[in-house]
Each structure stands twice: as C-alpha cells, then as structure tokens.
Structure 1
C-alpha cells in the first residue's frame, strides 16, 4: 500500500527562498585597470644610475636597497683593501731598490716575494673594481627589469588554474586546467 502525495503551491516565494536583487551582477566594475607607463622602466634605470638603490625605491622594492648597497659597498671595500696592500708592498720594494733596509718586510720576504705580492694585489684590486662595476650594472638592470615586470598583467581576467571535479556519471574524478581569458 503506497500512497503518492502531490502538492502545488500558488505562492511565488516561500519562507525558504532567498530574495535576490533583480539588477544584474557586473564583475567588471570591481576591477581597476592601471595604465601602462612606457617610461617607467627607463626612469627606474636612470634613478639607479644616479644613486644605486634609488631605482629599487622608485619600484617600491625597498627590501632590495640594503642588498644593493651591501654588494657595491663590499666591492669598494675589497678594492680599497687591496689597494692599500699593494701600496705597502710597492713602497717596501721601492725602498729596497733605493738601498734602504728598514722596510717592514725586511728579513721576512725577499725581493722576488715583494714583486709577486705586488702582482697579486694588483690583480685582486683590478678584479674588485670589475666586480664592483658589474654589481653597479646589475643594480641598473634589476631596476629596469623590475619596472617592466610591475606592468605585467596578472589580474583574474587572465589566469590558468588547475581544477578537480568529481564526475558523478562515471563515478570517477577528473583533473584538468582551466584557462580564463575575459575581455
């Protein structure tokens, strides 16, 4: 003994329905489009040329400024240190050539040793200078590239995202990629 009960309601809304606003939902009003400034990368590079780290400040990458100053400062430090050592050994060698025997290395290092030390510190000084100029150029390149990447479009209208979906018809799961491109 089975009974089937059908009921119909004449009401348009019942107590469980949620009233929605009749105006359409437009998602584009919430998106803020930034204009691309084609001179921004060149400004950042120019500022970094004037003062290392200033281009990073212009790009609002403040955490990079101590790295830039530390790298260039280390290069300058090693250049100055190697220059002082070179001068010490050169002055000692010059005093030995003049016939003096009162330099700080007398009895410890031979004349050939002084020449080799001068060559080593000259090479180290030149390498320090090249590395410092390379780090200075790297600072300029970083500011320029970072300014270019800040203008790269990464909003939600252009996205590639993985998705997982359960397929009820086949009782399996589906994996895939979704590409969203909205105008």
Structure 2
C-alpha cells in the first residue's frame, strides 16, 4: 500500500488515516487477570497464548497426577498404621505373589510415609507454579503493552578509538576509548 501514489490511493478509496494500535497497559493487566493469556491476545502477541496454555495444562496435569498418587499413599499409610486386619490397601502396590507376612512393616511404613510426603510436596509445588505462571502472564501483558511502541533503532554504532589517558603523577598512558551511539 505504501508503494501506491496518493492519486491512486484516493481513487481506489484507501484512507491515509489508518489508526495505529496502541494497547493500554492496565487493560492488558485486567484482561490477563480475568483469563490468563487474554492479555497476550489483547496485545496481539498471539504466539504467547500457547505458551501460557501449555504452562497451565502441564502444571494442572502434574498437580492432578501427584494428588491421585498422594491419595493412594495416604490411604495405604493410614491402613498400615491402624490395627484393623481388614484394611490392606498397601498390598495393592505389590504383585499378587508377595505375601504380607514376608514384608518388613517398619520398612514399609517408612516408605509409604516418605512417598506420601513426596507427592504432597510435588502437588503443592505444581499449584505454586501455576500461581507463578498466572502472575508471569499478567506481568508479561503489562510490559508488552507498555513497550509496544518502544523504538528499537537499527542505527546502533560502536566507535573504538585510541585515547591518551592523562596522569598527573607520571607521563600519560595510552588506551582504547569505546563509545556506543544509539
């Protein structure tokens, strides 16, 4: 469109008053807080939406899986700690050929407790990480909207030149002077 002369643009009806998109940072924050990833869509950074969604889906799956394992080990630990001979859910972790009399109860109790604590910790870390991804999406939406029109000039130059370094005590020294221009 920029290659067409103004007379052809006016004949065809192409307007020169094209409004440039200027995202509002606070609106991006509220949209991202409403639904994670919506702030990235508002900022027209569509490629970030799958990253936010994958983060939530992966961490959600991890929290769900660790929670189901936590339930299994909590039930097994509770069954081995009570004195009821009818509750033996801890035997579900072993093949059918293993007999309960062959197991060391102290060892099994310690293993069940450590695994229960392990899966609780992992579930909690997944939930905390989901909060982190949520906050990261909000911050990213704000920064992206704030820097939408930040000018990154391709005219960056670096100048290196010899320099004389004055020294009042002895004779002057020689060195390099380095300057960045942007």
Q: Same fold (TM over 0.5)?
A: yes
**1:111 aligned to 88, 109, 112, which one?**
109
Largest Rg, 1 or 2: 1
1:138 aligns to 2:141 (yes or no): no
Could you state the TM-score of these two structures normalised by the residue count of structure 2? 0.62
Maintained 8 Å contact 1:72/1:135: yes
1:85 aligns to 2:69 (yes or no): yes
1:160 aligns to 2:148 (yes or no): no
- Structure 1 gap segments, 5+ residues each: 1-29, 164-175
CA-atom RMSD in angstroms = 3.0
Maintained 8 Å contact 1:45/1:55: yes
1:48 aligns to 2:46 (yes or no): no
Number of residues of Structure 1 aligned to a counterpart in Structure 2: 132
Partner of 2:54: 70
C-alpha spacing 1:105/1:162, structure 2 compared with 1 (3 Å): closer
Q: CA deviation at 1:112?
A: 1.5
Query: Is the partner of 2:93 in helix, strand or coil?
Result: coil
- Structure 2 gap segments, 5+ residues each: 1-15, 95-99, 159-178
Partner of 2:162: none
C-alpha spacing 1:152/1:95, structure 2 compared with 1 (3 Å): same
1:102 aligns to 2:88 (yes or no): yes
- Mapped to 2, the partners of 1:123 and 1:67 lie a distance apart of 25
- Mapped to 2, the partners of 1:45 and 1:146 lie a distance apart of 10
Maintained 8 Å contact 2:22/2:148: no
Larger RCO, structure (CA 8 Å, separation 6 or more) = 2
Task: Please state which structure has a larger fraction of its residues in helix.
Answer: 2
1:122 aligns to 2:120 (yes or no): yes
C-alpha spacing 1:111/1:177, structure 2 compared with 1 (3 Å): closer
- Mapped to 2, the partners of 1:110 and 1:136 lie a distance apart of 39
Maintained 8 Å contact 1:160/1:177: no
C-alpha spacing 1:102/1:36, structure 2 compared with 1 (3 Å): closer
Query: Is the partner of 2:44 in helix, strand or coil?
Result: coil
Q: CA deviation at 1:129?
A: 1.0
C-alpha spacing 1:177/1:116, structure 2 compared with 1 (3 Å): closer
